[in-house]
Amino acid sequence: MTSNQKQYALLLSLVAVVVAFALWTASRAPELQIEIPQGVNVIQAADMRLTTDQGTVMVGESTSQEVAALFPAGKTLGMSTVYYDQSRGCTFTFTKLDKLKVMHIENPALMTARGIKVGDPFDPAVTDAYGPNYGYAKKPGASGDIDAAYGNNDGGVIFQVRDNIVTKIILQKEPPR
């Protein structure tokens, strides 16, 4: 066996070990428990609105220029369609047609149109404001840690909840084409 053949055999053996380890690790990861809402879970157009002292942002309608005017400390991340304002705790994602598609809120000073903010208890604050019909995903045995979703494929509000406290709010809506 030549030196090149030995190196090739060693490389193939190493790749096989890495792939086997990755498959073994993936098979041991707990599956998420996903619950679909049992009743109507509708989000209104007004739920896609975030109002600040400077003005209003509408998910599905606002442009990157409008968002930048309201969140001037933010920056576009690279050459992407993502705008991040670290000082205000918000991340905005835009479509190729420059319409706001997704907004992540991590700042307790900003609240949803129904008055929910980061730091609020999920139950009762969110369930009182949005209702009991929400879908969720959680890891098995993770009591109080869920990602709860209100809405449908057209638009929705997602609450990341840890120990029954809202830690992040995501507003998302696919703008008209």
Q: What is the pLDDT along the chain (177 residues), one digit of tens a residue?
A: 677 777 767 667 777 777 777 776 666 666 777 788 777 777 888 999 999 888 999 999 999 999 999 999 999 998 789 999 999 999 999 999 999 999 999 999 999 999 999 999 999 999 999 999 999 898 887 777 899 999 887 789 999 999 999 999 999 998 766
Domain boundaries, the chain: 1-29, 33-173
Instruction: Evaluate if pTM is beyond 0.75.
Output: yes
| Amino acid of residue 7 | Q
For residues 88-104, one letter each, b for 16 or more C-beta atoms within 10 angstroms of the residue's C-beta and e for the rest, the string is bbbbbbbeeeebbbbbb
In angstroms, the CA 3 to CA 91 distance is 52
